Chain A
Amino acid sequence: MNPKIARHVYGWLLFAPAAIFFILFTHYPIVRSCYLSFFNNPRGVQPRRFVGLANYAYLVNDPIFWQALKNNLIYAFGTIPVTVSLAILMAVWVNRRMTGRAFVRAAYFTPTILPMIAIANIWLFFYTPGVGLFDNLLKSMGYSGRNWLGDPDTALLCLMVIAIWKDAGFFMIFYLAALQGIPKDVIEAGKIEGAGRWYFFRRVTLPLLMPTTVFVVFNALINTFRIIDHIFILTKGGPDNATELLLYYLFQTAFEFWDTAYAAVLTVVIMAILMTLALAQFKVLERRTHYQ
């Protein structure tokens, strides 16, 4: 065989295993979902029928969709700043020379290695009205407890607290690595120039952590649309759709209401959001966070 062609065949053969699974489980379902979002649901012997943008029109008028989107945004913008700040704080804290540093680092990282389902069950106990950890604490201080997860005013907040608790330790690892990547003599140059700790943090450390922050923020954003395991255990989207997040709503639509056409529309919407975020991340990372 022509050696040039042989090289091509060789290349494609190496590429094939990954490509096949990607096409099978990622690309094909995306295309198929887009396609299905323009049809109605097949009923019994009646095959599916092209309906144009009817499903999308339904989406625009669906109050639960808007509720879920709003919840998702609150969830994202409520958790991410706190998570990122906590992660930086913890990283700076455990980056210092101190006794038991390894233990503290491991402790902060523990929530990350637990399965979300297990975490949800632990927190379910914390939030249980009357006998849970929080109510017991409140009671010991003389306050009355409340139904944390059963109250539309607090349910989403409860989920957000869990997300912060779980993710802060994970993102701390990235910040810890970034902090250790700051050259020692740059820090010493700051000392020679007389920069105080806060001044140096603000003008040098924080800007040097920017690439990490961009990475972490986008991943956290994407995660808020992706991770819904705890909703299954804790609230199932309730009460009164107070904890309905987009992906959970998609799950319900597809596998509880069996409305595959509308589920396809929701899939397309979530896909569009995630793709936009991913593209934005690449653009930002490319543009402004390379120094060396």
Chain B
Amino acid sequence: MQIEVRGVSKRYGKVRAVGNASFSVEEGQLLVILGPSGCGKTTLLRLIAGLETVTSGTIHIAGREVTDLPPDKRNISMVFQSYALFPHLSVRENIIFGLKVRKVPGQEIERRLARVIDLLGLGDRLDSKPGELSGGMRQRVALGRAIIAEKPVTLMDEPLSNLDAKLRNSMRREICSLQRRLGIGMVYVTHDQIEAMTMADRIVLMRDGSIIQDDVPENFYEQPANTFVARFIGTPPMNIIPLCATTGGAALEPGGEILFPGIDGNRFKLGIRPENIRIAEQGRPAVVTGQEYLGSDTFIACEINGHELIVRTRGRKTMLEGTRVHLTWDPHTLCLFDAQTEQRLESLPPGRKEG
């Protein structure tokens, strides 16, 4: 195991930034810490880096306890959100800064530098100052400085958030392939669910300083731990609508067709992904309240009993507001959440075949 975080907490006075976080990163794995801003994900990364000290708990990196060691003794490299390049040093000096500090012999420096330049395509900019480079190039320099250290673990703090959307996509793939090729363990912090879903071997989702779910990406989508995860992952997010109790079970509206027989509707919420709903000839009656055309898809907003449901349809669909439609879905794509605790129920109570 490359990194093991056990019961780590961080308090600033009375404020709890990170509470009792535990997770581990296997060798060569890319773990993404995901969460909305202010959830403590960056603090957690800084705790692993040693830039902050833990209030309680332990951290192991590459089989060694590092909880009380300074950053340079932890066998890690790090890429900062703002790149944190030294503005007065050339690209070359920036990249080899750490090697010079550690008094790596000159030949060895040149060998490693040549490899990193080759990996990142920085060959013709070695003598430039960071100020003369574009955002993407600066990002590469920051990556170079992290890679050249040849540490088993690299920490990344929202490294793509200062780039424009197009560059972000290509850098995302580049970082991923670098990580795979070099076989480094990586902890990558982001608030962007797309980055998390596309890059991660494993995602740790945080909220208010606690880990909500620690799982592989597909489970975040298909089996979200609670309504927060369900709505955080996916664009548009999962539809969550309260069920109501009616004679014989739970339905979407009072007196409506029973979806889940034999359960108390008031205690549960229904969750369903927009792409799992179809507009059909028969099914739940609903009213169209709006639409968004995105090119490949059209999101159609419908209303059942005053609750909005987004339906994702392929291609271009034109549906006027107020149109009456029928919605249908596969029962096994439904998620059921506890209305009180917001937690997802592992086993679905048996429902009727067609919705």
Contact = CB atoms under 8 A, between A and B. Distances in A.
Interface in A172-198: 183, 185-186, 188-189, 191-196
Interface in A187-224: 188-189, 191-196, 199, 203-204, 207-208, 210
A200 to B, nearest CB: 9
A292 B98 contact: no
A291 interface: yes
Interface string B54-90: 0000000000000000111000111011101111100
B72 A185 contact: no
B131 A191 contact: no
B84 A185 contact: yes
B78 to A, nearest CB: 5
Interface in B26-80: 49-51, 70-72, 76-78, 80
Q: How large is the interface on A (under 10, 10 to 19, 20 to 34, 35 or more residues)?
A: 20 to 34
Contact of A291 (B72, B87, B98, B101): B87
Interface centre among A188, A189, A208, A291 (most CB of B within 10 A): A189
A208 B49 contact: no
A195 B101 contact: yes
Contact of B84 (A189, A199, A203, A208): A189
A194 B131 contact: no
Contacts of A193: 72, 97-98, 101, 145, 149
B97 A291 contact: no
B72 A192 contact: yes
Interface string A53-77: 0000000000000000000000000
B131 A183 contact: no
B72 A188 contact: no
Contact of B131 (A196, A203, A292): A292
B131 A291 contact: yes
B129 A185 contact: no
A292 B97 CA distance: 19
A208 B87 contact: yes
B78 A189 contact: yes
Contacts of B98: 192-195
Interface in A244-286: none
Nearest to B149: A193
A192 B88 contact: no
A118 B329 CA distance: 88
B76 A192 contact: yes
Nearest to B88: A207
A188 B51 contact: yes
Given A193-B72, A193-B101, A291 B88 contact: yes
A207 B94 CA distance: 14
A42 B131 CA distance: 61
B71 A186 contact: no
B166 interface: no
B189 to A, nearest CB: 13
Contacts of A204: 86, 88
A199 B72 CA distance: 14
Given A183-B82, A185-B80, A292-B131, A191 B72 contact: yes
A204 B81 CA distance: 19
A203 B50 CA distance: 22
Contact of B80 (A188, A203, A292): A188
B14 interface: no
Given A185-B82, A191-B51, A208-B87, A291 B102 contact: no
Given A183-B82, A199-B101, A292-B131, A192 B87 contact: no
B101 A183 contact: no
Contacts of A291: 87-88, 129-131
A7 B71 CA distance: 61
Interface centre among B49, B77, B78 (most CB of A within 10 A): B78
A205 B137 CA distance: 24
Nearest to B151: A192
Nearest to A191: B71
Nearest to B100: A203
B71 A192 contact: yes
A185 to B, nearest CB: 4
Interface in B131-190: 131, 145, 149
B21 to A, nearest CB: 21
Contacts of A183: 82, 84
A210 B86 CA distance: 14
Given A188-B51, A192-B71, A193-B72, A292 B87 contact: yes
Contacts of A194: 71-72, 98, 101-102
Contacts of A207: 88
Contacts of A192: 49, 51, 71-72, 76-78, 98
A137 to B, nearest CB: 44
Contacts of A203: 86, 97
Contacts of B51: 188, 191-192
Interface string B313-337: 0000000000000000000000000
Contacts of B82: 183, 185
Interface in A108-167: none
B125 to A, nearest CB: 16
B80 A189 contact: yes
A146 to B, nearest CB: 47
A208 B88 contact: yes
Contacts of A196: 101
In order of increasing CB-CB distance, the 10 nearest A-B pairs are: A194-B72, A193-B98, A291-B87, A185-B84, A189-B84, A207-B88, A185-B80, A192-B78, A192-B71, A191-B71
10 contacts: A185-B80, A185-B84, A188-B71, A191-B51, A191-B72, A192-B78, A193-B98, A207-B88, A210-B88, A292-B131
Given A185-B81, A192-B71, A193-B145, 12 more contacts: A186-B86, A188-B71, A189-B85, A191-B72, A193-B149, A199-B101, A204-B88, A291-B88, A291-B130, A291-B131, A292-B87, A292-B131
